[in-house]
Structure 1
Amino acid sequence: MFTHKRADFGDGFVFGTATASYQIEGGQTDGRGPSIWDSFSRTPGNVHNGETGEIACDHYNRWAEDLDLLREGGFDAYRFSFAWPRLIPEGTGRVNQAGIDYYDRVIDGMLARGLKPFATLYHWDLPSALQDEGGWMNRDIADWFTDYALLIHKHFGDRLHAVATINEPWCVAWLSHFWGAHAPGYRDIRATARAMHHVLLSHGRAVNALRAEGQGNLGIVVNLQKAEPATDSPEDVAANHLFDGIFNRWYLGGVTQGEYPADVVEWLGANLPDSVPGDMNTVGADLDWLGINYYSRSLMAHDPQSPYFPVKDVPGPLEKTEMGWEIYPKGLTDLVTRVANDYFKGPIYITENGMAEVRGTDDPRRIKFYDEHFAALLKAKQNGADIRGYFAWSLLDNYEWAEGYAKRFGIVDVDYRTQKRAPKQSFNAFKAMLSD
């Protein structure tokens, strides 16, 4: 069990779990349109065993059972995402009433169980029709996304406790357009640079439009990596600074200060859209809160074999999760303290934190992982960060993107053959702590 108590975090602190639509919902026969993850996962070589999210955890049909688990565990909130192609199958235009009805059921189900709905508008499942038009490379996506955000406000806004525009814009842009590891699978620096800007322009445009319509408690969720140089050599220090600029400083500076780091702007050069300077007031739209997803650190070294992006990640010496990621709680303290000191003085939520582990309901390493990260979080609070909540990733074992179903992050085990749920010891540890 955890060594911490709910009272350690202060009055009003929110505990929840997080999921994402494509990773758990399934339910693709209600008029939902295709997404970029449908085509990416069906392309040989992209995903472990060619697995897709067609069924996933069947949350589309089992949402009530899953919300019951949240209530049983004593959680205060549920962080979920809307599926854009379920609501607007072609990305723009015609609305799918079955999708509206589905999210009505889910949100009303949260409220009936005393759960605060923390909604994410975009968690990577872009409608395929919009990818046909260039997706995040096309500046028009700021208009498409804003119209989609306003549709959600119209139908659900009065029942949402908090709204995040984008989940992990680094993954939307760099991981998916430069490294090609996620949908749409590009490996192109010009595409990357445009996506890096357009994803934040879309965020800012949507925030301003939602606020004008009366939607409150607006934020964004950034994934941050504790980047450290592998050695003290000038080359490794420079490589680490560039990586930190692309992974952390670009998104933090953009959304909290309306300013991109000058060194990264120079590095991207003519690949960036000419519109960047005039867009920055929109990119830096006022936030009510900031979400941080944290999992691990990276040790960065100079890579002479890659002259344009001379950076490589080298293995670290610490204990690792099943993803091969180092377990480094201090990184959470360091990053949250850095954000609070240098970027954002307002409320911060840890919107994802967790680890992949071998299958089974007995998961002592995961219990230890969470407990150590609670301590790291409390240290950041002592350092002055205004931390309002923590969301464990994830409620359920689920579709782990390019890893398919091979990696399990859930505090509830899922048998993908029968869809039977089985709470793990980590779930029981949360239940015991939250009942104190």
Structure 2
Amino acid sequence: MNQYRLPSDSKMLDSDFVFGVATSSYQIEGAVTEGGRTPSIWDTFCKVEGKVDNGDNGDIACDHYHLWEQDIEMIHSLGVDAYRLSIAWPRIFPKEDCVNPEGLAFYDKLIDKCHELGMKVYVTLYHWDLPQYLEDRGGWLNRETAYKFANYADVVSDYFGDKIDVYTTLNEPFVSAFLGYRWGYHAPGVEGDAEGFLAAHHLMLGHGLAMPILRQNAPQSKHGIVFNASPAYPNTDQDQSAANYSEAENYQWFIDPVLKGEYPSLVWEHQVSNRPMVLQGDLDIISAPVDYIGINYYSRNVVSYDENGDIKTVKQEGADHTHIGWEIYPQGLTDLLVRLKARYSNFPPLYITENGAAGDDHCVDGEVLDEQRVNYFQEHLNAVDTAMRAGVQVNGYFAWSLMDNFEWAFGYAQRFGMVHVDYQTQKRTLKQSAIAYRNMLVTRSEEKKNG
């Protein structure tokens, strides 16, 4: 397959539908001690033995800090409309209340280059790299961090204003809160149910505090938040309540306070001893209006109750799985989007801000034949099209990821990129999935010109 194909009447082929690629700062930049940057919680976490596969870290990663210009040119060569990136908080505030002009300048030239090449810029303010000095005072367990985040958002948006086309406050607060502060799989490695729910509330409070600031500083830009979400399915007819609770805890807990001004009762009543301290007015702050919501989708969850009455995920034997072990289930993306539309009557315009697959990819004679990923993207683009035909408003689709990178606790063992990275030489090679994406967008562009 040399290009992805959508029905000729698909709304995804309209000129105002945004196609893009996505990355995040710690996963690609490297240069962790350059340009005034100080350590993040991930720099610290990577030094803890056994926390990251192979003892990997983001010290060099894809060396994007030095190779950014050629990377932006490569993104442009794919024919995309937009580039989704994140800003590293420790580059902007390397010390408490100390703004680093060199950090702002790095992103300024990068953004200018994108605009020069005709691409819009979608910027995430927090993609998990919290400054270590804030973690030393409790991190997201400390309510003060929400206010520090709002101040960081103020500095960035005051500097860039409307130059950033679309602002995202947080990427996947579920992962930050639960993998980082509940289960300890991610930085900073804290374990405890109460801690996870408290961190979640403070993350969402930080989002809400930032929203009016962003609107004031960048009134022409769009502002929103990105959630990861996996639809849940019962393993047997007796497991429907497990599926309902799984969805409530895994994504409704984060989306409900934004769109409904409340936490889902299913979780609130179940987690009595782990409820976070919610002060009067907090939910009013969190439910500030958003211009859009981003959804990151990779797979589904099939769940059941175990012998202790706890909810467990049931692996689907015989199903197709990616290299990381996640089931390939494109119907789940359609189901998720339809469920979101049904649950939230006020659901704003939506972007698929991440979607992709990890592969056991190898560059042979200058080619990377990632057939599974090619099929994955084709099937999931079709799934988005199906959801749109069912009445869901989707305004864009961003492939994850632009290139192979530091995949958090998996280190460099998992490759999600459309572009292969040789970490020894930093050579970039377009995989077949990238070539198919580019060809689809070139065809769309030519059809636009021809009316």
Tell me if TM exceeds 0.5.
Answer: yes
Do structure 1's residue 417 and structure 2's residue 418 form an aligned pair? no
Whether the aligned pair in 2 keeps the contact of 1:193 and 1:268 (CA below 8 Å) is no
Match of 2:37 in 1: 32
Match of 1:273 in 2: 276
In structure 2, C-alpha distance between the alignment counterparts of 1:5 and 1:433, rounded to whole Å: 12
Could you state the TM-score of these two structures normalised by the residue count of structure 1?
0.96
1:60 offset after TM fit, Å? 0.3
1:408 offset after TM fit, Å? 0.4
Whether the aligned pair in 1 keeps the contact of 2:228 and 2:295 (CA below 8 Å) is yes
149-158 or 386-395, larger mean C-alpha shift: 149-158
Match of 2:213 in 1: 209
Match of 1:316 in 2: 316
Do structure 1's residue 95 and structure 2's residue 102 form an aligned pair? no
- For residues 59-106 of structure 1, the C-alpha deviation after alignment (integer angstroms, 9 at most, x for no partner) is 00111111111111100100000000011013x311122211111111
Whether the aligned pair in 1 keeps the contact of 2:158 and 2:218 (CA below 8 Å) is no
In structure 2, C-alpha distance between the alignment counterparts of 1:223 and 1:230, rounded to whole Å: 22
- AA aligned to 2:216 is A
Structure 2 matches for 1:3-402, cutoff 5 A? 3-4=5-6, 8=10, 9=12, 10-28=14-32, 29-90=34-95, 92-215=96-219, 216-233=221-238, 236-276=239-279, 278-305=281-308, 310-317=310-317, 318-343=319-344, 344-360=346-362, 361-402=368-409
Could you state the TM-score of these two structures normalised by the residue count of structure 2?
0.93
SS of 2:332 mapped into structure 1: helix
Whether the aligned pair in 2 keeps the contact of 1:5 and 1:434 (CA below 8 Å) is no
1:231 offset after TM fit, Å? 1.4
1:136 offset after TM fit, Å? 0.7
1:259 offset after TM fit, Å? 1.2
Q: How many residues are treated as equivalent by the alignment?
A: 430
Of all paired residues, the percent bearing the same amino acid is 44
Structure 2 CA distance for partners of 1:311 and 1:72, relative to 1, 3 Å = same
SS of 2:72 mapped into structure 1: helix
SS of 2:123 mapped into structure 1: strand
1:126 offset after TM fit, Å? 0.3
1:192 offset after TM fit, Å? 0.9
215-224 or 396-405, larger mean C-alpha shift: 215-224
In structure 2, C-alpha distance between the alignment counterparts of 1:72 and 1:355, rounded to whole Å: 22
- AA aligned to 1:39 is T
In structure 2, C-alpha distance between the alignment counterparts of 1:260 and 1:170, rounded to whole Å: 14
1:282 offset after TM fit, Å? 0.9
1:149 offset after TM fit, Å? 0.2
Structure 2 CA distance for partners of 1:243 and 1:106, relative to 1, 3 Å = same
1:270 offset after TM fit, Å? 4.1
In structure 2, C-alpha distance between the alignment counterparts of 1:354 and 1:12, rounded to whole Å: 22
CA-atom RMSD in angstroms? 1.4
In structure 2, C-alpha distance between the alignment counterparts of 1:53 and 1:221, rounded to whole Å: 23
- For residues 226-250 of structure 1, the C-alpha deviation after alignment (integer angstroms, 9 at most, x for no partner) is 11122112xx333322221110211
- AA aligned to 1:67 is I
- AA aligned to 2:293 is L
Whether the aligned pair in 2 keeps the contact of 1:15 and 1:391 (CA below 8 Å) is yes
- AA aligned to 2:143 is R
- AA aligned to 1:232 is D
In structure 2, C-alpha distance between the alignment counterparts of 1:186 and 1:371, rounded to whole Å: 38
Whether the aligned pair in 2 keeps the contact of 1:254 and 1:284 (CA below 8 Å) is yes
Whether the aligned pair in 2 keeps the contact of 1:30 and 1:98 (CA below 8 Å) is yes
Whether the aligned pair in 1 keeps the contact of 2:198 and 2:277 (CA below 8 Å) is no
Gaps of 5+ in 1: none
- AA aligned to 2:427 is K
In structure 2, C-alpha distance between the alignment counterparts of 1:210 and 1:25, rounded to whole Å: 25
- AA aligned to 1:322 is H
Structure 2 CA distance for partners of 1:21 and 1:316, relative to 1, 3 Å = same
- AA aligned to 1:26 is G
In structure 2, C-alpha distance between the alignment counterparts of 1:367 and 1:241, rounded to whole Å: 32
1:278 offset after TM fit, Å? 2.8
1:6 offset after TM fit, Å? 8.3
- AA aligned to 1:405 is Y
SS of 2:271 mapped into structure 1: helix
1:418 offset after TM fit, Å? 0.4
Whether the aligned pair in 2 keeps the contact of 1:197 and 1:276 (CA below 8 Å) is no
In structure 2, C-alpha distance between the alignment counterparts of 1:6 and 1:393, rounded to whole Å: 25
